[in-house]
Amino acid sequence: MANSRQSKKRARQNDARFTVNKARRSRIRTFLRKVEEAIESGDKEAAATALKTAQPELMRGVSKGVYHKNTAARKVSRLAARVKALG
């Protein structure tokens, strides 16, 4: 348990940051799930639209420190390849 004032403040900040990041991660996963569902339904138009809206959300997560840059790039790349393959 935190004892000093500084460590108590740091613990509070960590809790607040965790809550914000958890919400961001959840929001990004929702966007990714919409792309997955569109791909599974076989609708290329809907999948492309969903991917176009999910991509900036993922990259925003990178800029906010929720995801690593390469992780987001890999996810976008794999989803884009799957959407393209729907043809």
Show the tokens assigned to 39. Answer: 């791909």
With contact defined as beta carbons under 8 Å apart, do 43 and 49 qualify?
A: no
- pLDDT on residue 87: 76
Alpha-carbon 85 to chain mean position: 23
Helix (H) / strand (E) element for 62: namely: helix 44-63
Q: What kind and span of H or E run contains 67?
A: none
Domains of the chain in start order, with CATH, are 5-86 (1.20.58.110)
Q: Residues 47-60: what's their mean pLDDT? A: 97
Question: What's the pLDDT band for 57 if we cut at 50, 70, 90?
Answer: very high
Q: pTM to 2 decimals? A: 0.86
Closest CA to 58 of 50, 49, 67: 67
